[in-house]
Amino acid sequence: MARMIVSAVSPDVGSDVRDLARLERQLPPLLSVIAGTVDVIGFLRLGLFTAHVTGNLVVMASLLVRGGSPNIPQILAVPVFMVAVAAVWFIAKALSTHGAALARPLLCVQFLLLTCVSILSVIRDSSTNPHGLIAGVTAMIAVSAMGCQFALLRVVLPAAPSTAVMTGNLTNITLSTLDTFTHTQPLTEGADERLRKALKVLVGFFAGCVAGAVAVSWLADWSWSLPVVLAGLAVALPSSRSGRGLFEVWKRDRGPEAERRAASADALGQR
């Protein structure tokens, strides 16, 4: 009903809603595959969880308590991740756009960062010295790419499940499965939808992990080309069935007209 009202007031606002809903269905599974490949390749080639900051915290704490000192990339991973998230926030603010129109610029940032990782890995053979300067720089760029992905989801698709942290997704799958297939009153609403979303992301992440491991075995440092290709597909992901790219949506949603449509949508939401 709300979608019909928005469409009646402004066709562009209705189109924005449809674009965002379609993006929410298509983008998280693909991003989860990218996160899986980056995490596995980063761990196997650089000795660092590039898409899983929690793992780096665990390793650091273990080394500090049991002896030894964590390497520099492990120490820097957390602040670099935070800086990358903050950078995405500033980019989003500077672009003065929202929703599906904001996705493509941020996806381009992720693509460029992963491309830099791939180039450095191939040219400088950073994996031969995982504790060296070049390997550390490469790892931090990969961490930044994943920070960009996390921030992108929270800014563009706040209702989407996490594409790299599977603990929450496994929890959602278990609880949603119980609510869906029992005949009692469900404990949470929307169990079917949550189950579908979480399953897609979980399967995508696992598939990315397997693909990343295979790529490392076959391609060595060239394995980074796999997440680069996938990130390129994410950038090219159309935002509508008519084939209109996210770039066209981004151009349409800039300027005074975009502000007018956003104000109309906010006014309807308050009602």
**Distance of alpha carbon 77 from alpha carbon 57, whole angstroms:** 9
pLDDT at res. 219: 92
Read off the pTM.
0.79
Q: Is residue 259 part of a domain?
A: no
Helices (H) and strands (E) in the chain, counts: 11, 0
- Whether 269 maps to a domain, the answer reads no
Q: State the pLDDT at residue 13.
A: 53
Nearest to 87 by CA among 28, 159, 149: 149
In a domain, 264, yes or no: no
Longest dimension (CA), the chain: 66
Alpha-carbon distance 50 to 211, whole Å? 16
Phi-psi category of residue 27: left, alpha or beta, with phi > 0 → left and psi -120 to 50 → alpha: alpha
Q: What's the pLDDT band for 129 if we cut at 50, 70, 90?
A: confident
Predicted local confidence at residue 246, as pLDDT: 43
What pLDDT does 151 receive? 95
Residue 192, domain member (yes or no): yes
Per-residue confidence at 242, pLDDT binned at 50, 70, 90? Answer: very low
* Residue 270, in any domain of the structure: no
How far apart are the C-alpha atoms of 207 and 3, rounded to whole Å?
Answer: 35
238 inside domain: yes
What residue numbers bound the domain in which 201 lies?
15-253
Total domain count, the chain: 1
Assess if residue 267 is contained within a domain: no
What is the structure's pLDDT at 263? 52
The answer to whether position 151 is within a domain reads yes
Per DSSP, the three-state class of 127 is helix
The alpha carbon of residue 7 and the mean position of all alpha carbons in its chain are separated, in whole angstroms, by 29
Phi and psi torsions of 250, nearest 5°: -60, -45
Is 263 or 153 the better-scoring residue by pLDDT? 153
Average of pLDDT values for 98-122? 92
- Contacts of residue 187, Cβ cutoff 8 Å, sequence gap at least 6: 175, 179
The Cα 47–Cα 136 span in angstroms is 10
Q: 80 by DSSP, 3-state: which?
A: helix
* Cα–Cα distance for residue pair 84/99, rounded to 1 Å: 20
Rg of the chain over CA atoms, in angstroms?
20
What b/e readout covers 220-241, taking b as 16+ CB neighbours within 10 angstroms?
A: ebebbbbbbebbeebbebbbbe
Decide if pLDDT at 232 tops 90. yes
Percent of the chain with pLDDT over 70: 81
CA 271, CA 261: separation in Å to the nearest integer? 16
